[in-house]
Structure 1
Amino acid sequence: MFPWSDTTRPVDERVEALLDAMSLAEQIGQLGAFWPRPKSNGAGLNDVAPMESAMSSGEFEEVSADGLGHLTRVFGSAPIDPETGVATLARFQQQVQQRSRFGIPAIAHEECLTGFTAYGATVYPAAIAWGATFDPELVGEMAHAIGSDMAALGVHQGLSPLLDVVRDYRWGRVEETIGEDPFLVGTLGTAYVRGLQDAGVQATLKHFVGYSAARAGRNHAPVTIGTRELEDVLLPPFEMAVREGEVASVMNSYSDVDGVPAGASRHLLTEVLRERWGFTGTVVSDYWSISFLESMHHVADDLTEAGALSLNAGLDIELPETGAYAHLAEAVERGLVSEGVIREAARRILRQKVQLGLLDEGWDAAAAGRAVHLDSERNREIARRMAEQSVVLCANDAGVLPLRADSIALLGPISENPLTFMGCYSFPNHVLPRYPELASGLPLTSLADAVRAEFPDTRVDVVAGVDILDPDTSGIEGAVAAARDAAVAVVAVGDLAGMFGGGTSGEGCDSVDLRLPGAQADLVRAVLDTGTPTLLLVVSGRPYSLGEFGDRAAAVVQAFMPGAEGGAALAGVLSGRVNPSGKLPVGVPDHPGGQPGTYIAAPLAWFTDGVSNLDPRPLYPFGHGLSYTTFAVSDLALTADEVPTDGTLTATVRLTNTGERAGAEVVQFYLSDVTAQVVRPIKLLAAFRKVHLEPGASATLRVDFSTDLMSFTGVDLTRVVEPGAMKLSVGTSSENLPLVADFRLTGGLRVVGEGRTLSPTVTVE
């Protein structure tokens, strides 16, 4: 038995024994990947990944000649059944082992942002809908189900979750984010990491870091933010997932941050990630981002320089296929990178392979995976609960919901197209556009069919009126006629996700402003003009401006791509079978432009009467969401009104269901600096908890806040806790905070070192 195959030896000892036996070329081989993908059509319109048609990889025999680090998306690149996928992966693994002197298999990775991105796999709600649940336990349960399916098939790593914090709603990838608040994103993202990894699949955080702050919300655009926004808004979710979630992998961002591409930033990939946070896993490149250093960023003259830049920065593995890293031996000869840096990167990936059991004596590629049902009843049940808990009731002033009507006009382009329920990384929207002859691969129920099933004794007339994006308005007349002939109208508008301009939401599908796409706003206006009580239902990947309609609609419901079970979930909310409990993870804008984008705003970024004619406040704020029952928060109490800068503050509050049916409310706690040495946001979410209560029942929430949670990046760019006046506000949205308690931090200015507390402790009695 070779020492690296001996499971009785410590992991690091096994890794070092293998490294000592490997040549430089064999170590370099572990840093690359191969993608057994269908060839692009060359036009780029149907590419699975960014600029795929512009890239080419070597043949498998060439790429794997000295070993291979990763196999890319064996299941997720074309519509294959689980049995074929398992056999294909096993065949590639056997070839990889045969071509390695040491029989080292590859790590197989796949996408899993809306569930396993494979043909016939359950499509869960998009990540922005996870944020709307405000329920980390449910997100973790979903991730564990996704991971268990992937692990059963022989997959080792998932390229999820995305921890970018929303900064501009126009960005196409808003649907892939968890929301606009770093604590919400970090909490739910860490829950996803734990769930996936507990199931045996390594999670990958993306995109580290700054991608969501791209200028003008344009994909791949430069990022020009200051150190404080980076440290206090964009980095904390990643730090939480690294330190609390112990994530195995991190993926770099495509963006350049203040002129330095993230994939070439030693500051980000080594100093922050490893030296400050103690990350010990692997850093993988976003697809072709190393080559982009030459072709897009122009910070390298050739692929040899590009590979050396990334490797020296701390980027271990090139995905999706070996390109620039094929030139690392030349980089050594040219003095651009040292053999020691290559050995360190190889050490990290070999350590993961040992931890995954890939180097154990007797590991058998043919027995490493088994076909499983990817759309099981378990998966569907979790997807249903995720969908139901993510629907947000924004307004119901006329009391039209739950619907009680003998006739319903169901209008709008969302009505009969269940693909609108799915994100851009769902297999039906991500890959199947290449295969128009194939169906979705799994049972899907349209909103129209779900509403008919939910209201069997009600006449339901369905008229689309307009398309998602087509400006043609000729069908509006038919929708108006249906609305006039019904007791109530439901206008379902929103997005269809796609890739690189192939949809209204998704990667490369950015928006010039926040108006509803196409002629959908014309449809809404025309139906509202009929005078028929109208429910506006938005199913989208980003929030759209609804200020024009908010006061005119009888009710407003926002759903964020609720997945394969979305139709039934939405129909259940309309009927009242489901009591909505979702909360907005992003604000819904009042105006289509002229707004700061998120609730995390300094005083001058918020409404200041007389300073500007533009009011940036949203129509429906972050954290907002109504229910068919009512709740009251009361009895806020603090353990002390003075807290040392190195101490702990404990707050208690009471939540009561004051209505007549069971429901869930999200109690939200926000901290505010009254005065600080730098300009601070008006408020920041510091804790939350979703609580289910029966009618008349109450619960007491206790929250223990370390003062680390009150720290910020000070004038000298050091993280500090500053003495002075503070406020804790409690309520049910960022703008509905009826309870406020003042307290003071006392003592001297405290510099907060690495390893700070990132989460409060919340208990419910």
Structure 2
Amino acid sequence: MTLDEKQAQLVGFWVDQGDEVVAPMAGEKKTSTRYEEATAHGIGHLTRVYGTRPVDPGERAAWLWSEQARLQRETRLGIPALVHEECLTGLAAWQAATYPTPLAWGASFDPALVERVGAAIGSSMRTLGIHQGLAPVLDVVRDPRWGRVDECIAEDPLVVGVIGTAYVRGMQSQGVHATLKHFVGYSASRAGRNHAPVHAGGREIEDVLLPPFEMAVREGGVRSVMNSYTDIDGIPVAADAHYLDDILRERWGFDGVVVSDYFAVDFLRSMHRIAADSSEAAALALTAGIDVELPSPDAYTTLAAQVRQGTLAEELLDRAVGRVLAQKEKLGLLDADFTAAPPTAVDLDSPAHRALARELAEESIVLLSNDGILPLVADPTRRIAVIGPNADSTEALMGCYSFVNHVLAHHPSTPAGIALPTVLEALRAELPDATVTHAVGCAAEGDDRSGIADAVATARAADLAVVVVGDRAGLFGRGTVGEGNDVDTLDLPGVQRELVEAIVETGTPVVLVAMTGRPYALDWALPPRATPGGASAGLGAVNSPAAARVSEEAPAARQPAAVLQTFFPGEEGAPALARLLTGRVDPSGRLPVSLPRSAGAQPYSYLHPVLGGRTDITSVDPTPVRPFGFGLGYTSFTRTAIEADATVVAGASFRVAVEVNNVGGRDGVDVVQLYAHDEVASVVRPVAQLIGFERIGLAAGESRRVTFDVPTERLAFTGRDGVRRVEPGRIRLWVGEACDHEEAVTTIEIVTAP
């Protein structure tokens, strides 16, 4: 290969890039190189062939097949391009199914279902000639003020790792390579601001932020990784060989391809300012371990010249090219026949897609409180008012990286191309004999209160009000959550709280639905709860999830009769919600993130040490209103008779078993959660750490013995010497309704090998 041919394999080209800002800084980073010039020696990637504009999938496939054949025919080496697309909530293309956002994956606690979703998305992509998907996001949520929280799975690294790895397995089972992002530290930025510096300690990085990526590499066999935009302690990750080479490749054995996040290489010059020009930025990134520059050639176009000048070792170029060619070989691109006819009729939103999307949406909805009003009893004379900015909105169902919100926002005259029933429409379909009225009340953002009076009148004339509030996903100031839409408050956007309180004051029972991309402070809408009877004082005083037990102190003001949390539930989210409200589906979602008390309590994680929770030595109470793992159903469960091995050798696995009983009058689903606490350790440890979970369905009155086989590595942490290991000592174990509820408790002793 010539130097120019090698360089060409290390860049992408955004063929269809227009004036829409669909990526960070894209408006300022227009590609000046003509496509014909950029592909004269071949090309590494084609960027978002289907996902930049609303194009007919069949027509676009015909263009892509012909273009791949041209690259084979007209370039000396005849190497086709690798095609990548966004696929965070489904393939981000026109007419493609839109699934719930990743935060909803976490709320489902169902890796097997997420694996099926990944496979379905991968199948659509492979049919269209797409080879690589830019998902999943394995950033662990550290601060809900961050705009990209809805792209994340959870605040717990085990949940992120298990569910993210399941998505990887599903997608790659279809011959499409998944891409882990954003490696690493992106979500730990100061004050939850996009691209802001990260000053996380080495132990937080090793024990919280890195494990999900390690799991997806070692256990999921992921084939691609994307760097984080951020800098960690002053070193941009895009130029840090410690993460991209020492940890990712040498320690974990990753042998795939590292691609840059969009424009990240040139950001070394323009934003981080550790490079004087694009040549220096390219040399820094390539040396650190970034193999491919995406989305288009900006800095890596200087690589061949640098080698010719003797300022860059050709071995670095060869190293990256070898990885890219190996990836293309694994994908079958080097032997692909593009003279065959491309697909013409492609159903990207088949009934199978929609059934999966609805199943995941149903499993992800979290019931936060319920005074008995739910499930709704069928009553043909019932009058239901459906109110709120998200009650009759299709955009409110989907996250930032959905095609509708990410791309079609720039094409308002183009239809979505898929069926997107709203909550209003779904409730009318679910309750055909009821009288269902509607009022918007207010917008998702802004201070216009002119519609509240009409909403109040509509509620007063009804027997029940379903009030749907929350977010509108977008980018860089367009919307209330999403990439670049960071906040300094966790109050509901705009005047939505005023709307809810006005409806509640009418005396009409209210079912509040928060349809959001981040958890908001909803303490004003939820009843207070007593400390769980099984909580240990040594773990800090925290709110109990135990059946949302209400304390003796009555709330100061009226509150909704029931509150539900749903995280952008996708195209089938509204029918899923309607089925849950009427009781055709039992609520089974659990909070993948703590429900915050206020923005002032952030950053907060349930993985806090004793002094990170509520104590007597500070007046600030960071305790969440509802904790990680919390979620109610229409039935009740107990967890009893826990048993564990007495001892386990460090490095081995141990067994924990618990009896789970459905003691209510309905069938239901429980998410059995196993937590641990290292009672005395050489460094400060969290008061609770999830080490196992499993969804189980039980009929009314049914009991089941649930057994966990737990590798002791899940209790590993970084010691004072900087080495991550499993330390001997006594571990407290419990199963409960959430992280803070010790319902069934036992202990185990970790010992060293004889």
* 1:622 matched to 2:596: no
CA–CA separation in structure 1 for the residues paired with 2:181 and 2:255: 16
Q: Helix, strand or coil: the match of 1:395?
A: strand
Q: Helix, strand or coil: the match of 1:538?
A: strand
CA–CA separation in structure 2 for the residues paired with 1:674 and 1:735: 15
Query: Equivalent of 1:141, from 98, 101, 116?
Result: 116
Q: Show CA shifts across 1:300-321 (max 9, x none).
A: 0111010110100011001001
* 1:647 CA drift (Å): 3.6
2:319 aligned residue: 344
* 1:370 CA drift (Å): 5.2
1:759 aligned residue: none
* 1:478 matched to 2:457: no
1:756 aligned residue: none
Q: Helix, strand or coil: the match of 1:600?
A: coil
CA–CA separation in structure 2 for the residues paired with 1:728 and 1:367: 59
Query: Equivalent of 2:590, from 583, 588, 597?
Result: 583
* 1:446 matched to 2:422: yes
1:724 aligned residue: 729
CA–CA separation in structure 1 for the residues paired with 2:98 and 2:300: 34
Q: Helix, strand or coil: the match of 1:77?
A: coil
CA–CA separation in structure 1 for the residues paired with 2:494 and 2:103: 22
CA contact (8 A) 2:58 2:343 kept: no
* 1:366 CA drift (Å): 4.8
Query: Equivalent of 1:456, from 432, 437, 449?
Result: 432
Mapping 1:150-169, distance limit 5 Å: 150-169=125-144
Query: Equivalent of 1:664, from 645, 664, 669?
Result: 669
* 1:103 CA drift (Å): 0.6
* 1:743 matched to 2:754: no
2:368 aligned residue: 394
CA–CA separation in structure 1 for the residues paired with 2:250 and 2:752: 30
* 1:667 CA drift (Å): 0.3
CA–CA separation in structure 2 for the residues paired with 1:560 and 1:113: 14
CA contact (8 A) 2:378 2:431 kept: no
Mapping 1:215-226, distance limit 5 Å: 215-226=190-201
2:538 aligned residue: none
CA contact (8 A) 1:213 1:225 kept: yes
* 1:55 CA drift (Å): 0.6
Query: Equivalent of 1:284, from 259, 265, 269?
Result: 259
Give 5+ residue unaligned stretches, structure 1.
1-21, 41-45, 751-765
1:33 aligned residue: 12
CA–CA separation in structure 2 for the residues paired with 1:268 and 1:100: 35
CA contact (8 A) 2:729 2:749 kept: yes
CA contact (8 A) 1:651 1:703 kept: yes
2:59 aligned residue: 84
* 1:194 CA drift (Å): 0.3
Counterpart residue identity of residue 392, structure 1: V
TM-score scaled by length of structure 2 = 0.93
Mapping 1:192-591, distance limit 5 Å: 192-360=167-335, 363-364=337-338, 366-367=340-341, 371-402=345-376, 406-551=382-527, 552-591=559-598
Query: Equivalent of 1:113, from 74, 88, 105?
Result: 88
CA–CA separation in structure 2 for the residues paired with 1:365 and 1:66: 21
Counterpart residue identity of residue 68, structure 1: I
Counterpart residue identity of residue 367, structure 2: L
Q: Helix, strand or coil: the match of 2:517?
A: coil
Counterpart residue identity of residue 149, structure 2: V
Percent of pairs with identical residues: 50
Q: Helix, strand or coil: the match of 1:687?
A: strand
CA contact (8 A) 1:74 1:88 kept: no
TM-score scaled by length of structure 1 = 0.92
CA–CA separation in structure 1 for the residues paired with 2:687 and 2:434: 48
* 1:635 matched to 2:611: no
Count of residue correspondences: 720
CA–CA separation in structure 1 for the residues paired with 2:100 and 2:643: 37
Q: Helix, strand or coil: the match of 1:408?
A: strand
CA–CA separation in structure 2 for the residues paired with 1:646 and 1:110: 40
CA–CA separation in structure 2 for the residues paired with 1:525 and 1:661: 32
2:27 aligned residue: 53
CA contact (8 A) 1:66 1:99 kept: no
> Which range moves more in the overlay, 572-581 or 237-246?
572-581
Counterpart residue identity of residue 568, structure 1: P
Q: Show CA shifts across 1:119-168 (max 9, x none).
A: 01111101111111100010000110100011011111111100000000
Q: Helix, strand or coil: the match of 1:359?
A: helix
1:676 aligned residue: 681
* 1:644 CA drift (Å): 2.9
**Alpha-carbon RMSD:** 1.5
Q: Helix, strand or coil: the match of 1:524?
A: helix
CA contact (8 A) 1:649 1:707 kept: yes
CA–CA separation in structure 1 for the residues paired with 2:243 and 2:67: 34
CA–CA separation in structure 2 for the residues paired with 1:510 and 1:401: 35
CA–CA separation in structure 2 for the residues paired with 1:454 and 1:507: 34
Counterpart residue identity of residue 415, structure 1: A
> Which range moves more in the overlay, 167-176 or 598-607?
598-607
* 1:334 CA drift (Å): 4.7
* 1:507 CA drift (Å): 0.7
* 1:741 CA drift (Å): 0.9
CA contact (8 A) 1:134 1:689 kept: yes
Q: Helix, strand or coil: the match of 1:263?
A: helix
CA–CA separation in structure 1 for the residues paired with 2:481 and 2:726: 40
Counterpart residue identity of residue 213, structure 1: A
Give 5+ residue unaligned stretches, structure 2.
528-558
* 1:97 CA drift (Å): 2.4
Q: Helix, strand or coil: the match of 1:515?
A: coil
CA–CA separation in structure 2 for the residues paired with 1:562 and 1:87: 33
